[in-house]
Chains A and B, each alone.
Chain A
Amino acid sequence: MLILDHLWIILALPLAGAAINGLLGKHWPQSRVNAVAIGSVTLAFVAVVELVREFSQLAPEQIPFVGNYFTWMLASPFRVDFALAVDQLTVVMLLTVSFVGMLIHIYSTGYMAHEGGYYRFFCYLNLFMFFMLTLVMATNLIVMFVGWEGVGLCSYLLIGFWFLKKSATDAGKKAFITTRIGDFGFTVGVLLVFATFQSIDFGTIFKSLAANPVSETTLTVICILLFTGAVGKSAQLPLYVWLPDAMEGPTPVSALIHAATMVTAGVYMVARMNPLFSRAPVAMLVVAIVGAVTAFYSATIGLVQTDIKKVLAYSTVSQLGYMFLACGVGSYATGIFHLMTHAFFKGLLFLAAGSVIHAMGGEQDMMKMGGLAKKIPATYWTMLIATLAIAGIPGFAGFFSKDEILEAAHSGPNANLILWLLGVAGAGLTSFYMFRLVFLTFFGAPRYDEHHVHVHESPKNMTIPLMILAFFSIFGGWFAAPHLVGGTDYFEHFLHPVFSAYAPQPAEQAAALAENPAAEGPALGLLHAVTGWPVIVAVLGLLVAWWLYIKNPEAPKRLAKSVHGLYALLLNKYYVDEIYAALIVRPLLWISTNVLWHGVDQGLIDGIVNGSAHIARLTGSRLRELQSGNTRSYAAWVLVGVVGFTVLLLALFVTGVH
């Protein structure tokens, strides 16, 4: 029970790595920075693996296993303990975060090798791991919020890593401020949770919720406020605008923070708070609608983007929408399942895209690539696997998770056909834009100047993480495979205690129903799944992309011309940035400049300060004339004082006050 009794070790390792590299790394050679950064994260991963081994030996009643270290704040009845907890959900998140994080650290040693601020990059990256692990291991909302804000800080620092580039620092600020809008809702939600349950500890909240029913209105308000935080953090409509801009950061950062881990924190939070959400059907519907609409909406933007990272960014927003759709229809385990498979294949997609950019010497525009498959085969094959996975082609990880989400939306306890249709349409679009990306990048004739760009395969420390992630992009979803032939979905079975322990009664029945799928024969079930609509639209997307970008390379241009209005709308991302600028940013700037700056700051505050100084000076210049130096005038003032006091005493005497 080495790690279980010392859960803090998992957090302390990356924190120590960040501290050592941040304080001492400036003049160190890269190899030593690498040793500290990768060493700390690898040890953290090893600790997590050991944790899982010890966890598997715990009896069910010992879960969640809580390690309470100290009381952080105590203002009775408000009490915050710095406590960490492990249950099945935490285990899944810990494994995903530490494993993908470790691979991306290794990859970064290749990708960032020629960049300045090498030690700074790894310091931030380790710090990010610390906060992300804090977030998933927290056992109350406040410690979770520490992790929540900490990853936001690291995201800001890493997006603006190349801080001499104005677009990068602007993108960092945009990410920070936009997520802060959601965090405001989250904070209010936490306060409301405390006001309702007199506690911010997960276990206490859930137990009191199960014992004493709380009014549905209160729960709905709490859930929607908490979900606001998730909308900001996980880049959903209408706060998704920061994520595409966040691609200004180095590509490993996009892979780790803006695809695999941080942006999924919102999904994790919703899943963690499932007893509350399950009792607030309206909030659930909001979650599902936002998820499905985002999934479809951002997939449409992804269709026409030409920057390889922008396509992946919109794809991430879209996939996060699927996770929320799963949570919204009450299938939290499926949402977390997709979170995990997405961490594998989207992390891989970003790293492979990074490898392509590396090979092209910094070029990100897909219109200036083409025909790279032969020149960088390792990147090509791994990226193809990830694309097959995200498109939902049977056999790959994304197929299992996305299929389960759409199945839950179609025939789960909270099924909704409109949302299912949006999801299926989004799946078709996903398949199209991903294969468009692959065909534009790796197939056809080269569209770059072959004399100037020397395409080269990336070094081993970059390609090996790609291959490992490719392995998991195929097999990472097979935990759910037996479900298709009528068996147990091991992933869902593993997470079942977390989502059933405090579930309201009807959902438990529904879960029991889900445990025993309809009495289809195994073969029929498999056939049904493989030939279901999600797979059909995915293949359709593939074929359309092939027809447009391989068979008739001139067709896309003609198509863009014939539906010019729609094309321009998508290319400009529905003008959302422009609309936000006109509706929010510019009015805010105007108010800040004219009212707050010139009015309140310069007028009121400076006015009070300068005014009081002016009054003091004026009073002084008047009073100094009393000091004439003339003895008789002094005597006269003494007389005035005496007369004044005498009158006062007489007045008091007459009115009877002694």
Chain B
Amino acid sequence: MSVIPVSYYLALSAVLFGLGVIAFVFKRNVITVFMSIELMLNAVNLAFVAFARAHNQLDGLVFVFFVIVVAAAEAAVGLALVIMLAQNRQSLSVERMDHLKL
């Protein structure tokens, strides 16, 4: 059984990350934006796992666990923000999130 070269994983990771970025910039629904962030995080996870496997080291796997934990925490806080936004603005559009200035 032939081994899939690490570059394949990296290419897939880059494509996923690029899709996440594009979605993050162009999508208006705040929940979709959230999902694109998750997509970027998991693209990075894929790259970590691929490198860990290629170099036969555990460091990359440890990072992946951290990323998963941070992503979970971020999802919890982020969804709370989404709920507050929906309650206050009656909308889920990112365009309405324009209060980040003095």
| Stretch from B4-12, B49-57, B59-67, B93-101 contacting the other chain | B93-101
Residues of B within 8 A of A628 (CB): 98, 101
Mask of B18-52 contacts with A, CB within 8 angstroms, 1/0: 00010011000000000000000000000000000
Q: How large is the interface on A (under 10, 10 to 19, 20 to 34, 35 or more residues)?
A: 10 to 19
> Taking the nearest CB of chain A, how far is it from the CB of B1, in angstroms?
34
Residues of A within 8 A of B95 (CB): 630, 632
Q: How many chain-B residues does the 8 Å CB contact rule pick out?
A: 10
- Most B CB contacts (10 A, CB to CB) among A627, A628, A631 go to A631
A597 within 8 A of B: no
> Taking the nearest CB of chain B, how far is it from the CB of A638, in angstroms?
9
Q: Which of A631, A636, A639 contacts B97 (CB 8 A)?
A: A631
A632 and B101 contacting across the interface, CB-CB below 8 Å: no
Mask of B61-83 contacts with A, CB within 8 angstroms, 1/0: 00000000000000000000000
Residue of A with least CB distance to B101: A629
Task: Tell me, in angstroms, the Cα distance from A252 to B9 when the chains sit together.
Answer: 105
Residues of A within 8 A of B99 (CB): 629
Task: Tell me, in angstroms, the Cα distance from A4 to B99 when the chains sit together.
Answer: 88
Task: Tell me, in angstroms, the Cα distance from A617 to B99 when the chains sit together.
Answer: 25
A639 and B25 contacting across the interface, CB-CB below 8 Å: yes
Task: Tell me, in angstroms, the Cα distance from A467 to B31 when the chains sit together.
Answer: 114
Task: Tell me, in angstroms, the Cα distance from A635 to B94 when the chains sit together.
Answer: 11
Residue of B with least CB distance to A643: B21
- Chain A, range 331-385, C-beta contacts under 8 Å to B: none
Task: Tell me, in angstroms, the Cα distance from A588 to B98 when the chains sit together.
Answer: 63
Residues of A within 8 A of B94 (CB): 631-632
Q: Chain A's interface: helix, strand, loop or mixed, by majority?
A: helix
Residues of B within 8 A of A627 (CB): 101
A78 within 8 A of B: no
Mask of A26-53 contacts with B, CB within 8 angstroms, 1/0: 0000000000000000000000000000
Residues of A within 8 A of B25 (CB): 632, 635-636, 639
Task: Tell me, in angstroms, the Cα distance from A632 to B93 when the chains sit together.
Answer: 11
Task: Tell me, in angstroms, the Cα distance from A536 to B21 when the chains sit together.
Answer: 115
Residues of A within 8 A of B101 (CB): 627-629
A580 within 8 A of B: no
A634 within 8 A of B: yes
> Taking the nearest CB of chain A, how far is it from the CB of B44, in angstroms?
13
Task: Tell me, in angstroms, the Cα distance from A629 to B102 when the chains sit together.
Answer: 8
A631 and B24 contacting across the interface, CB-CB below 8 Å: no
A631 and B100 contacting across the interface, CB-CB below 8 Å: yes
B98 and A629 contacting across the interface, CB-CB below 8 Å: yes
B24 and A630 contacting across the interface, CB-CB below 8 Å: no
B98 and A630 contacting across the interface, CB-CB below 8 Å: yes
> Taking the nearest CB of chain B, how far is it from the CB of A130, in angstroms?
66
Residues of A within 8 A of B21 (CB): 639
Mask of B83-95 contacts with A, CB within 8 angstroms, 1/0: 0000000000011
Task: Tell me, in angstroms, the Cα distance from A631 to B24 when the chains sit together.
Answer: 11
Residue of A with least CB distance to B26: A632
Q: Which of A634, A636, A639 contacts B100 (CB 8 A)?
A: A634
Task: Tell me, in angstroms, the Cα distance from A635 to B24 when the chains sit together.
Answer: 8
Mask of A389-409 contacts with B, CB within 8 angstroms, 1/0: 000000000000000000000
Task: Tell me, in angstroms, the Cα distance from A632 to B97 when the chains sit together.
Answer: 8
> Taking the nearest CB of chain B, how far is it from the CB of A335, in angstroms?
82
Residue of B with least CB distance to A634: B100
Task: Tell me, in angstroms, the Cα distance from A309 to B67 when the chains sit together.
Answer: 100
- Chain A, range 56-80, C-beta contacts under 8 Å to B: none
> Taking the nearest CB of chain B, how far is it from the CB of A634, in angstroms?
7
> Taking the nearest CB of chain A, how far is it from the CB of B54, in angstroms?
20
Task: Tell me, in angstroms, the Cα distance from A629 to B96 when the chains sit together.
Answer: 10
- Chain A, range 594-646, C-beta contacts under 8 Å to B: 627-632, 634-636, 639
A-B contact pairs, 16 of them (CB 8 A): A628-B98, A628-B101, A629-B98, A629-B101, A630-B95, A630-B97, A630-B98, A630-B100, A631-B94, A631-B97, A631-B98, A632-B94, A632-B97, A634-B100, A635-B25, A636-B25
Q: Name 13 extra pairs, CB < 8 A, besides A634-B100, A639-B25.
A: A629-B98, A629-B100, A629-B101, A630-B95, A630-B97, A630-B100, A631-B94, A631-B97, A631-B98, A632-B94, A632-B95, A635-B25, A636-B25
Interface on B for A, CB 8 Å cutoff? Answer: 21, 24-25, 94-95, 97-101
In the A-B complex, the 4 residue pairs with the smallest Cβ-Cβ separation, listed nearest first, are: A629-B101, A631-B97, A629-B98, A630-B98
